[in-house]
Amino acid sequence: MIRPLIAKELRDQRPFLWLSVFFLAVEVITSLWTEPLGFSPYAQTFVERFKVGGDLSTMTFVLAFALGTGLLVREQDDRTLEFLDALPTSRGMLFSVKLGVALGLVLLYPLGLTAWTLVEHGLSRTSLDASLHVDLLVVGSVLRIIQALAVLALALALAPLRRLSWTALAVLMLALSLWQDRVPWLAALNPLQLTAPEFEGTRWPWPVEAMAVQLGASGVLLFIALAQFLGLGQRRLGALLRWLQQSWMSGVVSLGTLGLFIAVLARVLGPPPGGADGGAADERPRVRFPTSTVAQAATRYYRFTYPAELRHRAGPLVDAADGVHEQVRQFLGESPGALIHADLGGSAAHTGGTAYWNTLRMDLAGASDAERASAVLGHETTHVLAHRLVGVASVPKLSRMKLLSEGLATYVETRFFSPERTSDYQLIAAAARARREVKIEELLDPERLAADRDADWVYPLGRAFVDALVRRHGEGAPARVLAAIGREGAPEGLDGALAWQDAFQTAGIDLSQVFDDMFAALDAQVAAQRTLLDSLPRPRGVVERQDGRVAIRARLDKPLPSGWRVVCRFRRTERAESYELDGPYAGEGPHWREATDISEGRIWYQLGIQGPESLILYEPWTLVRVK
């Protein structure tokens, strides 16, 4: 009886069969048609296909859920279940056959593509990576089977909701992402995470806990689906479903989904866990003073707003503001434009000021003196005027060229308003060069620079870059480059090195020559500060444990010079934004991490040394896996 049932199921699910075969064929034929055989090793294909959100996970999820939602309910809706009941077989057998056939169809594409990945690697192997890594593929395939089973089970359990099943899926996924930050082990419930490769060397260890959770959850969901299919509690379930399917209920459910979206947003927009400081929950008594009134002041080029109690600090700044503006404006060759709105009440985390279109914000309270405040004003005013030079449409492009934008602002700041800081920036730049860590590809890719080293390197190295640019091509060079960035008819879609090359070529400047000059200047600085640079230690991290907590302690290879100290900071993910960084914390440690701070068993830490003038020289980011 089983064979006819299988044949019947295959016939019913033909569209999914064709779809899987089609997708697989497209993948294989495209490779064969457009690429030479033997140049697709795992280095190029494995992680790309197996990662969360890659082809395999996405297609498995979509196919499994789409197939599963219709697998059983279609028989009920089309009334063919009564016919099947007349056959000499049980509903349990029907259920098993359906599940087996559906699982096989869902796995056709991912396992087929996995096999093709193996074939491609087999043809592309070299002596440096001669193994077929079949063990990795076995782990990946088994996890893929469990993933498909879990998604199928979920789809079968939600299928009675009919059209609301996709809505319910969205609700569940959102709820999971909402709570995962606070309860990290919930990641084990996410079937997409199950097949994300986690390598230890060339091994992919079995994620036993996640597998157990997924298999357990699949069992429960399959039991629910089977119970519904067998008609257990049919009357009550029918009544519940009729109640759920009333028109107002669908509205409530839909709005509930919308509400969940907003709840997620609220979580993003609301105060961070533990309070506005972002630290751990604080149980000390809180003191809150009344908010002050806001004062305003207008000059020829600015409109200032600031907390009234800072009027003594704001006064010198307001008096000096137009002079600052004139100096920056003349350097950039920009004509006077609209007023700049300057809010002196604060800035983004980890910054002294931030600039927007015709607007800037500054932390006046954080500035140590009037000169420092003028320097920050000059820095941010440079950004605002640079935005005007490139035009509003090209501001995002300029923002991605951080080495240039921040370098220009820092150059203006140190040249005209705080020359005493030049030596601090030069020290950081020289140290990076001495370590051979200044790489042009990273400087032109701010995200990569932030992920591997320190996003703030754009300040000292950008300053050195603009200094080299001005020395060789004159003071008008930065403005020419900015004008080239914002010119009409600039090619769209350029990014990274190409955007730089396009802008500098249009401005009539050889970019590689500017970098050459920069490196020459850095080498000269290295030579001049060799003694100090050689005296600076390089901290390494050591993991310590106590009472279930994990800490990072710094170890130094030589003593710290006087006035220097070790710092440590952390992040949750490789691509965390600068305002998401935790720290820096001073001292050699141990710097303890709570379980909620450790995402998926990983700690990203970065050690550095902080000089007397507060600039920090960081080591590269390090990832360590802890259980």
Partner 1 sequence: MSAALLRKEWREHRGALILLNVLFGVLGALLVLNEARYATHGTLMEVLKIPAVMLSTAAALFVAHRLVTREYGQRTQLFLESLPLSRASILATKLLLGGGVLLLPLVLTGLALWSRARLHEDLSARFLLILGLRAATPVLLGWMFCALAGLIGRYRNPLFLLLFLALFAADRLTDFDLTRVGPTVLLGSDFAFERQHFPWAALGLCWAAILGMAAVCFGLVLHRDGTLAELLSQRMSHREKVFIACICVGLVVVISVMDAAKQRQPFTLHDAEQALAVGSPVQVSSGVGFSREDAARLATRLANDLGALSRYLGLERLPAVAVMPIRELDADVFQRAELENADGVVVRANLADPAFDVRDFEAFLFQQVLIWTSKGQVLREERRWWLDGFTAWWARRDEEDPRLSPRVAVASRDDFDPRAWLTTRERVGPCLAGALAARGITVLRSQLDEEAFHSLARQLLAWPPGTGVTGRLSEPRLEDLLRARGLGSESELFTRWRTAASQDRAVHAALLEALSRLHPSLHVVAESQETFRLEHRLRGEGNTPAGRYALLSQNLGPFTAEVAPYALSRQDAVGAEDAVILPQGLARGERWLFVMQQERPELGCPVRLVAERREIP
Q: Which residue has the tokens 């370098």?
A: 407
Token pair recorded at residue 514: 């500017």
The single-letter code of the amino acid at 371 is E
Shortest Å distance, C-beta 231 to partner 1: 26
Structure tokens at 475: 């003071």
Minimum Å distance from CB 444 to partner 1? 11
Quick check: 538 binds partner 1 (CB under 8 A)?
A: yes
Q: Beta strand 591-593 with 582-586: parallel, antiparallel or unpaired?
A: unpaired
Euclidean distance between CA atoms 406 and 448, whole angstroms: 16
Q: How far is the CB of 78 from partner 1 (least distance, A)?
A: 12
In whole angstroms, what is the distance from residue 606 CA to residue 616 CA?
Answer: 11
Task: CB nearer to partner 1: give 147 or 606.
Answer: 606
Bridge partners (DSSP) of residue 569 are: 606
- Our finding on whether 96 is near partner 1 (CB under 8 A) is no
Q: Which tokens sit at 141?
A: 């395939």
Q: Least CB distance from residue 502 to partner 1, whole Å?
A: 10
The stretch near partner 1 (CB under 8 A) out of 154-162, 282-290, 344-352, 560-568 is 344-352
Question: In what helix (H) or strand (E) does residue 585 lie, and over which residues does it extend?
Answer: strand 582-586
Please give the residues from 353 up to 392 whose contact with partner 1 meets the rule CB under 8 A: 354, 356-359, 361, 392
Stretch that binds partner 1, among 92-100, 173-181, 280-288, 431-439 (CB under 8 A): 431-439
Site for partner 1 in 395-424 (CB under 8 A): 395-396, 399
Give, as ranges, the residues between 20 and 59 that touch partner 1 (CB under 8 A).
Answer: 22-23, 26, 30, 32-39, 41-43, 46-47
Residue closer to partner 1 (CB basis): 88 or 201: 201
Q: Which of residues 139-168 bind partner 1 (CB under 8 A)?
A: none
Contact between 625 and partner 1 per CB under 8 A: yes
Residues 282-311: x where in contact with partner 1 by CB under 8 A, - otherwise, as a string: ------------x-x------x-x------
3-state secondary structure 247-264: HHHHHHHHHHHHHHHHHH
Q: Is 493 in the site for partner 1 (CB under 8 A)?
A: yes
Number of residues that bind partner 1 (CB under 8 A): 113
- Applying CB under 8 A, does 266 fall inside the site for partner 1? yes
Ramachandran bin of 357, using left for φ above 0, alpha for ψ from -120 to 50, beta for the remaining angles:
beta
Lookup result for tokens 């920050």? 376
Rounded Cα distance, 91 and 499, in Å: 64
H-helix or E-strand spanning residue 42: helix 42-50
| Phi, psi (deg, nearest 5) at residue 410 | -70, -40
Binding to partner 1, residues 193-212 (CB under 8 A): 197, 199-202
Q: Which of 162, 341, 400, 572 binds partner 1 (CB under 8 A)?
A: 341
Of 127 and 236, nearer to partner 1 (C-beta) is 127
Give the footprint of partner 1 on residues 589-618 (CB under 8 A): none
Give min distance, CB of 347 to partner 1, in A. Answer: 6
The least CB distance from residue 44 to partner 1, in Å, is 9
For residue 95, give the 3-state DSSP assignment: helix
- Site membership for partner 1, residue 19 (CB under 8 A): yes
Residues 554 to 573: which contact partner 1 by CB under 8 A? 555, 557
Determine, following the binding rule CB under 8 A, whether residue 233 of this chain makes contact with partner 1: no
Q: Which of 68, 378, 462, 541 forms a contact with partner 1 (CB under 8 A)? A: 541
The Cα–Cα gap between 145 and 109 comes to: 12
Position 532 contacts partner 1 (CB under 8 A): no
Q: Which stretch binds partner 1 (CB under 8 A): 14-22, 150-158, 164-172, 184-192?
A: 14-22
Sheet with 549-555: list strands edge to edge.
Answer: 540-546, 549-555, 591-593
Residue 271 binds to partner 1 (criterion: CB under 8 A): yes
- DSSP letters, 602-622, are EEEEEEEEE-TTS-EEEPPPE
Interface residue with partner 1, options 95, 331, 500, 515 (CB under 8 A): 515
Note if the bond before 584 is cis, omega within 30 degrees: yes
Residue 44: in which H helix or E strand, if any? helix 42-50
Question: Considering only residues 436-475, where is the footprint of partner 1 by CB under 8 A?
Answer: 436-440
Per CB under 8 A, 623 contacts partner 1: yes
Part in contact with partner 1 (CB under 8 A); list of ranges 1-9, 366-374, 519-527, 559-567 = 519-527
Q: Residue-wise over 598-621: b if at least 16 C-beta within 10 A, else e?
A: beeeebbbbbbbbbeeebbbbbeb
Give, as one character, the DSSP assignment of residue 204. -
534 binds partner 1 (CB under 8 A): no
